[in-house]
Amino acid sequence: MFFMNIFNFFRGYVRLNIDGFFLERFLNIASHHNIFVWNIKRLGAQRISICVSNSGFQSLQEIADKTDSTVSVISHHGLHHLMQKYRGRTSFAIGGVLFIIAILVTSMFIWQVKIDYDGTRIPHETLQQAAISSGAKVGIWRFGLQNDKIANQIMLNVPEVAWVGVTIDGTCINIQARERIPAPLIVDEKTCHSYTASKPGVIDSIVVRQGSQLVKKGDSVSAGQLLVSGVIDSPTVGTRYVASDAIISAHTWNKLSAVIPDTIEDKTRAGGTKSKHTLQLFNWYIPLYISDKVDFAEYERDNKLIQAHIGEKLYLPFWLHYDKFYNIETTYTPISRDESILRTKQMLYNQIVSSLEPDTQITGETQDITTTDSGAEILNLTLECTENIGIRQRVDAPITNTQTPTPTPTQ
């Protein structure tokens, strides 16, 4: 449709209103005489609106006489009409023609690659690189692209992707990717595994389905300590290697500390700004500023990339790199000791909780304040938790079905 509009613009066309009782017959006769009309709109029981080329317009009056219809010109469009209108402004007309030619040429290439991915396991940069490797990149000839080939190549390059859909819309490639649902962890029962402690604690409960249990409820353990062994020694069977299976829960104490401040740091924009925008044309960068220097001691940067486009489908190879710097002023507001302790405690609490596994239960908390030699107060926060501390680790020993050796008869 875009190229048809460009074609009609160059050859010129007229918007008409047709009034009469035999409008269908009017259109049939026009079609029979190979007169192409488009954008047909019914404006009433006895009126329609159509578009027709300048050459076809010359033949419509005879058809109108045959069908007892009236033809009214609403407007003229196209390059010829535009040049007639601005025939006294030659440079303007030439510039307009060159602009249209530039748009027509650039519309034959890809200038935007959009990736629609709502998962969390695959970094966006990985999908971007896979798209580029498959041929979906800015500046490529759009008519030589094969959607299925691009999709298959992306799936080969990114194993975490379960499905990829590729569509070309104007000068934009739209890539939809959906991540693969990870398969449940399958433990190799032919490999020896043991359990060690991920952190120090006191064993609260231990359930061993397979393996040699080395600790019991109430035992204190340290980080890295062996809790359940996959190596089982038996006086009758000998040494066996098994894939241990156990659930080990323990009481743990997670502690963090921070200085209690006596002021609150506040950063605000002080009013000064500096712009350093850059215009990109294809691979050429044109700075729209004089000096690279930013005179602010502290500043906040607002940057974004804006691409020129006509409508939602026709993206152009022109970008504005928007960079604006705001002068920042830092102030320190005094705060009461009680409020400072409360803020510091909340900060430490959030940091500890973010480091815990989702199924961890917090059973208690304690806090104390210590003072350094320099006089600074330190808040120490400890959260008592019940959590799974067992880490399954592979032991480099194959599982063998060891049996009691058969005695060799003596001679």
Of the three residues 150, 179, 208, the one that is the final residue of a domain is: 179
Q: Which long-range contacts (CB under 8 A, 24 or more apart) does 182-191 make?
A: 182/121, 187/243, 187/245, 187/392, 188/243, 189/243, 189/399, 190/243, 190/398, 190/399, 191/243, 191/394, 191/398, 191/399
Task: Find the angle CA(383)-CA(384)-CA(389) to the nearest 5 degrees.
Answer: 110
Q: How far is CA 395 from the centre of its chain?
A: 39
Q: Report pLDDT digits (tens) over 71-127.
A: 899 988 877 776 666 666 667 767 777 888 888 888 899 999 999 998 888 898 999
Are 254 and 357 found together in one domain?
yes
Domain count, the chain: 4
Q: Which DSSP category does 27 fall into?
A: H
Range of the domain at 290: 271-321
Residue 406 falls inside a structural domain: no
Is 256 in the same domain as 292?
no
| Domain endpoint, select from 140, 155, 179 | 179
Percentage of residues of the chain with pLDDT beyond 70: 90
Q: What is the pLDDT of residues 361-396, one digit of tens each?
A: 999 999 999 999 999 999 999 999 999 999 998 887
pLDDT the model gives residue 295: 87
Q: Is residue 193 part of a domain?
A: yes
- Same domain? For 309 and 163 the reply is no
> CA dist 253 to 179, 218, 275, 278, 345, Å?
37, 15, 51, 53, 16
pTM for this structure? 0.54
197 and 305 both lie in a single domain:
no
Both 150 and 40 in a single domain? no
Whether 202 and 300 map to the same domain: the answer is no
With a cut of 60, say whether residue 253 has pLDDT above it. Answer: yes
Domain shared by 223 and 255, yes or no: yes
**Is 314:2 a contact under the CB 8 Å cutoff?**
yes
Residue 95 inside a domain? The answer is: no
Residue-wise pLDDT tens digits, 266-294:
999 888 899 999 999 988 999 998 888 88
What is the CATH classification number for the domain harbouring 44? Answer: 3.30.70.2280
Q: Is residue 99 part of a domain?
A: no
Q: What is the pLDDT of residue 242?
A: 87
Report the C-alpha gap between 269 and 328 in whole angstroms: 5
Distance CA 223, CA 389 (A): 9
Residue 296 belongs to a domain: yes
